[in-house]
Amino acid sequence: FTEAFEIVVRHAKNYTNAMFKNNYPSLTPQAFEFVGEFFTDVSLYILGSDINVDDMVNELFDSLFPVIYTQLMNPSLPESALDINECLRGARRDLKVFGNFPKLIMTQVSKSLQVTRIFLQALNLGIEVINTTDHLKFSKDCGRMLTRMWYCSYCQGLMMVKPCGGYCNVVMQGCMAGVVEIDKYWREYILSLEELVNGMYRIYDMENILLGLFSTIHDSIQYIQKNGGKLTATIGKLCAHSQQRQYRSAYYPEDLFIDKKVLKVAHVEHEETLSSRRRELIQKLKSFISFYSALPGYICSHSPVAENDTLCWNGQELVERYSQKAARNGMKNQFNLHELKMKGPEPVVSQIIDKLKHINQLLRTMSVPKGKALDKNLDEEGFESGDCGDDEDECIGGSGDGVTKVKNQLRFLAELAYDLDVDEAPGSKQHVNQKDNEVTISHSLGNAHSPLKLLTSMAASVVCFFFLVH
């Protein structure tokens, strides 16, 4: 998922660069640089860097305004007046030259990125839990019990007799009692992660927000143009350069800046988004919600034991039917096997439990409003509920004033019609090879299933261990 989120950030940057290239070509050399720096900070924030989202957005607009003012609003500004950049950066906030758009972007980006970062942290911890439990070592007591279960029947000449299924369950419950202790916190982890994912839509969906960001930035520039006359006069007085240049209105016909070419995303029959990938991951994780508690039984069911508990080895002799009941609830239950000493969980298991407790608490505190509460929250923040719904097939972006809309979220199996890079010259084009693009994206999104593969790998490894033992 980390690589998948990076794909979204890269394409969001490309959308924004393309907006500047198509609508404001005179701004592109510097705008590309500022946009690139902004989305680099976005990527770093998602990965856990200590960056303030409000500072990111402020820096973007602080950097853009001097360029917009000198290149777009006042292209005839004398060279001697170009030292007013610092004044323009300060005036940007004091005069709110972009209106409420910077605050709107701060709210949207902050909420969506915060949830995304928590989601990635939770996934990484889940992978750590799987990897750690995959390499746990069994105690000497467990080794002795396994030897008795698999081999002691040979000493009595019972070469073809299998261990009783119930006896196997007792032994495995004891050997894996520490691991089973993880079950409670693992269940809570999956359910908390599901709740977080269910709330990741609209303003809390990074894919939805970032891919529509270019439209909001375009609207903010149009806001400056429509208020250009008054703004230019005020800036002239504030920065003391009104006498050095001829007054020039900032309002221009929209057709002067809008390139009628549109950005299109190719349609495919089976479209996939990050949202659908997240839901798919949660559904598969839920099928493993009882993995740790069911692991002892799973191992025995995949081992050569007498499942009907008749004519089998009970650890001491051949019996017609095994009647010993295995304890099923981890370390807190007592086993009727004196050889197996019940100890507290291994230190590494205790560490895993502590980490799961921490991430579960973090997921609980990361509450995402739902339903009417979400609508009220969006209205208060200035996010129009009519812009996009919780259905991933609805639009993203706000304005309809000439800027290209991108319907739906980014389709990971679609070939983009363009792929600008921040370091490219404004007029250059980069053609995307569809096969290479699909291979790269498929590899990136394949990581979404890594926790599941690790779960399966863990079970297979444990089973193989016991086969090797006997």
How far, in Å, CA of 13 to CA of 8, rounded?
A: 9
More confident residue, 134 or 379: 134
Q: What is the pLDDT of residue 333?
A: 42
Q: What is the pLDDT of residue 119?
A: 92
Predicted confidence band of residue 82 (pLDDT cuts 50, 70, 90): low
Residue 176 pLDDT > 70: yes
Which token pair is 233?
Answer: 């006069």
Where do we find the tokens 């990741």?
200
Cβ-proximal residues to 184 (8 Å cutoff; 6+ apart), any chain:
none
Predicted local confidence at residue 344, as pLDDT: 58
> Strand 310-313 to strand 406-407: parallel, antiparallel, or no bridges (unpaired)?
unpaired
Best CA proximity match to 45, nearest among 114, 126, 121? 114
Above 80 in pLDDT, residue 80? no
* Greater model confidence, 276 or 245: 276
φ/ψ region of 45 (left if φ > 0, alpha if ψ in -120 to 50, else beta) reads: alpha
Q: Assign 345 a pLDDT band (cuts: 50, 70, 90).
A: low
Complete DSSP assignment for 84-95: GHHHHHHHHHHT
pLDDT digits (tens, 9 = 90+) for 261-313: 334 433 333 345 777 888 888 889 899 899 999 999 999 999 999 888 888 99
Question: How high is the pLDDT of residue 86?
Answer: 83
Q: Which residues contact 329 (CB under 8 A, 6 or more apart)?
A: 180
Window from 10-24, 108-122, 231-245, 400-414 with minimum mean pLDDT: 400-414
d(CA 273, CA 258): 29
Residue 111's pLDDT band (cuts 50, 70, 90): very high
